[in-house]
């Protein structure tokens, strides 16, 4: 993987404003540093309130760090003049699909971003069609958003970000409100964007199974990065994960239980596929 940096977060501390004028609550992010590489698929894990959504706000210039710096493609987010250039590069998809769709028709909603950027009408048309095809929602372009399923709505939201031709998409728990079917659709879509279009994907999630499929996993705790690395390295620290209130992938859990019963499966097990092949190898060995 090339190591060009897309988003650079340097020693960032951030606290929300308190109720009283000028007062600050205790910091949500503390001296946090993280480099997000161009074209990578980064998953961010962390218990509720660990500051994941806050980090998102800092990455697209919706909030500025109290100390430290955030650079998006070399642009300082503290520079007010660059605010919209930054948001053009970094798109955000939120958890609740209902609250991020603005227009009454699918294609109108996808056009919302490019319209705000002042793109030419014919170019908007082209971008909207291609974005909708990309996420497999082209046939639904004239539908009303409220009649779509959760997974479909979320894909429309992703198309809305794509139409702005962002280089990086941050998805804040995009699958939290979806059923397994919708979750599969959305995950497949974002993996395709990452693989085929080279878009940098930052996926905030509570599902370990989704994190396992990423290039790198970052674990946040108390406003800091606790662990960072490829999924296999991160999930090897089982105790650290459990201590910070997180889970480990089902397959890994099952392998652990078997180990306690004296059945030692070979290799590192993270995904169901790992488990199956490892179990096969174990059976072969027994014979």
Partner 1 sequence: MIKDITLGQYFPGNSPIHRLDPRSKLVLVFALLIIIFLCQNFFSLALITVFSVVCVLLSRIPFKTMMKGLKTIVFVILLTSILQIFYNHEGTILWQWHKIQITTGGVSMAIFITVRIICLIFVSSLLTYTTSPTLLTDGIERLLKPLKKIHIEPHTLAMMMTIALRFIPTLIEEVDHIMAAQKARGADLESGNLIKRAKALIPILIPLFVNSFRRAYDLAYAMECRCYRGGDGRTRMRIMKLSGVDFAAYAVCALLLAGVIVLNICFEAVI
Ligand X SMILES: Nc1ncnc2c1ncn2[C@@H]1O[C@H](COP(=O)(O)OP(=O)(O)OP(=O)(O)O)[C@@H](O)[C@H]1O
By CB under 8 A, residue 144 contacts partner 1? yes
The beta strand positions in 145-247, using DSSP E, are 168-172, 200-204, 216-221, 224-229
* Residue 78 touches which of ligand X, partner 1, Mg ion, none (Cβ within 5-8 Å per kind): none
Residues 6 or more apart in contact with residue 50 via CB below 8 angstroms? 220, 221, 222, 223
Of 55, 72, 119, 234, the one binding partner 1 (CB under 8 A) is 119
- CA 142 from centroid of its chain's CA atoms: 28
Q: Looking only at residues 22 through 61 of this chain, which bind partner 1 when binding is defined by CB under 8 A?
A: 60
Distance CA 132, CA 116 (A): 18
Scan for tokens 């031709």, then name that residue. Answer: 165
By CB under 6 A, residue 205 contacts ligand X? no
Looking at the Cβ atoms of 50 and 60, the one nearer to ligand X is 50
Angle of helix 121-134 versus helix 150-162 axis, rounded to 10: 140
Binding string, 61-100, against partner 1, x = CB under 8 A?
A: -x---------------------x--xx--xx-x-x-xxx
Looking at the Cβ atoms of 16 and 238, the one nearer to partner 1 is 16
The beta strand positions in 53-181, using DSSP E, are 67-72, 75-76, 90-93, 168-172
Of 46, 97, 145, 150, the one binding ligand X (CB under 6 A) is 46
Distance CA 183, CA 243 (A): 27
Distance CA 136, CA 130 (A): 10
**In contact, 113 and 157? CB cutoff 8 Å:** no
Looking at the Cβ atoms of 245 and 266, the one nearer to Mg ion is 245
Distance CA 37, CA 39 (A): 6
By CB under 6 A, residue 49 contacts ligand X? yes
Residue range at the interface with ligand X (CB under 6 A); choices 49-57, 141-149, 245-253, 273-281: 49-57
Find the shortest distance in angstroms from Cβ 182 to partner 1.
17
* Residue 50 touches which of partner 1, Mg ion, ligand X, none (Cβ within 5-8 Å per kind): ligand X
By CB under 6 A, residue 52 contacts ligand X? yes
Find the shortest distance in angstroms from Cβ 22 to partner 1.
22
Find the shortest distance in angstroms from Cβ 61 to ligand X.
16
Residue nearest to Mg ion (CB): 53
Helix/strand/coil percent split, the chain, to 5: 45, 20, 35
Distance CA 102, CA 154 (A): 13
Looking at the Cβ atoms of 25 and 102, the one nearer to ligand X is 25
Scan for tokens 């097990």, then name that residue. Answer: 269
What are the residues binding Mg ion (CB under 5 A)? Answer: 53
What are the residues binding partner 1 (CB under 8 A)? Answer: 60, 62, 84, 87-88, 91-92, 94, 96, 98-105, 107-108, 111-121, 124-125, 128, 144-146, 160-161, 164
């Amino acid at each position: 993987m090339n190591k060009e940096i897309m988003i650079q977060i340097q020693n960032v501390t951030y606290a929300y404003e308190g109720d009283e004028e000028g007062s600050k609550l205790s910091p949500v992010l503390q001296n946090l540093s993280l480099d997000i590489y161009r074209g990578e698929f980064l998953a961010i894990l962390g218990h509720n309130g660990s500051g994941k959504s806050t980090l998102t706000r800092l990455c697209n210039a919706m909030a500025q760090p109290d100390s430290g710096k955030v650079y998006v493609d070399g642009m300082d987010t503290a520079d007010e003049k660059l605010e919209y250039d930054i948001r053009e590069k970094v798109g955000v998809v939120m958890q609740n699909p209902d609250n991020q769709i603005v227009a009454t028709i699918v294609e109108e909603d996808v056009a919302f971003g490019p319209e705000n950027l002042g793109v030419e009408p014919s170019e908007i048309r082209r971008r909207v069609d291609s974005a909708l095809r990309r996420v497999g929602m082209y046939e639904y372009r004239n539908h009303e958003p409220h009649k779509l399923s959760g997974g479909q709505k979320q894909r429309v939201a992703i198309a809305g970000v794509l139409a702005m031709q962002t280089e990086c998409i941050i998805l804040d728990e995009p699958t939290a409100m979806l059923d397994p079917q919708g979750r599969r659709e959305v995950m497949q879509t974002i993996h395709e964007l990452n693989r085929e279009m080279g878009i940098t994907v930052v996926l905030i999630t509570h599902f370990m199974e989704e994190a396992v499929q990423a290039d790198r996993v970052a674990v946040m705790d108390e406003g800091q990065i606790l662990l960072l690395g490829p999924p296999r390295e991160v999930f090897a620290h089982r105790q650290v994960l459990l201590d910070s209130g997180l889970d480990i992938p089902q397959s890994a859990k099952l392998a652990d239980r078997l180990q306690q019963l004296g059945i030692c499966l070979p290799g590192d097990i993270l995904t169901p596929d790992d488990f199956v092949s490892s179990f096969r190898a174990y059976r072969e060995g027994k014979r």
